[in-house]
Structure formats: C-alpha cells, structure tokens
Amino acid sequence: MTTGTVHLQRVLRATPERIYRAFLEPDAIAKWLPPYGFTCQVHHMDARVGGTYKMSFRNFGTGNGHSFGGEYVELVPFEKIRYSDRFDNPNLPGQMHATISLRQVSCGTELTIVQEGIPEVIPVEMCYLGWQESLVQLAKLVEPKIPD
C-alpha cells in the first residue's frame, strides 16, 4: 500500500535554469540526489515527456543497494518537473509521483517538492530526512558561481 506524502520548500541562491538542469542531467543528479552515505548510478535518463529514467542508490557502508525508475510526465522548462517513480523491489510496492516546482524570487529560486505515494513500509520522516540531505547537496552544486 502507498500512503505517504512529503512536502518540502526551499529558497536557493540559484536561477531556475540551474536547478532545472540539476534534476535532468545524469551527472548532476548522481552528485546531489543520493542522501548522505549513498552513491548513485544513473543507468539511463531520457529527460523528455514520455521518456524514462532508471537509477540505483548504494549504501557505501554496507554495499547494499536498491534501484528505481519511472517516467517523465510533465516538463515545463525552468518551472516544473513531474515524474513517476517505482522501486524495483517488490517489497516496496506502488507507484510514487513527484512534482518539482520552481519560481524565481528576488534572491534566487523558490523550490517546492511534493512526493506522493511513498510505500507504507518507508517512514515518511525518513523521506524528509533523505530529501533534506539531498537538498543541502543540491544547494552546494547549483549555488556557487565559479568563473570558467
């Protein structure tokens, strides 16, 4: 059964374009999405409406991992990303949906994330914790202005 939903909101000192790219470029998402202590491998990413993605996270300490993937449902450049998500593990059933909204504000971008349909066996507070760690890493990727 899938019952959990998380809502997150942050303001980042970066343009909507940079944040949008960070969600859709394989090398970028592999750098910031996995929570602390995990690595990420992007197996494929076809970032277009109807396109799919597949990736896996591996616990660096234990070596155990899990894979997941889904489909891009809506892409509005620099404003919105909607995608489905499903774990490959049959013990984590159901399909999740995530909506990423970007809104330019005076000091950067307001980022809002809603993830719905989290499998019942995953505590919602663990999802919040994982997303919080990921968003710290996202900020470290998109906020620096490094000259060429």
- Residues facing residue 116 across a β-bridge: 5, 97
pLDDT tens digits, one per residue of 96-123: 999 999 999 999 999 999 999 999 889 9
Neighbours of 47 (CB within 10 A): 18
Q: Which domain holds residue 27?
A: 2-142
Q: How many domains does the chain have?
A: 1
pLDDT tens digits, one per residue of 19-66: 999 999 999 999 999 999 999 999 999 999 999 999 999 999 999 999
What CATH number corresponds to the domain at position 125?
3.30.530.20
In a domain, 148, yes or no: no
The CA-atom distances, in angstroms, between 127 and each of 7, 79, 110, 112, 117 are 10, 23, 20, 15, 12
Evaluated on CA atoms 73, 50, 117, 61, the torsion sign reads negative
CA distance 13 to 130: 21
In a domain, 126, yes or no: yes
List strands edge to edge, sheet with 80-87.
Answer: 2-12, 108-119, 96-105, 80-87, 65-76, 52-59, 38-45
In a domain, 147, yes or no: no
- The values of phi and psi at residue 140, to 5°, are -65, -25
In a domain, 115, yes or no: yes
Of all residues in the chain, the percent with pLDDT exceeding 90 is 91
Nearest to 68 by CA among 15, 130, 9, 13: 130
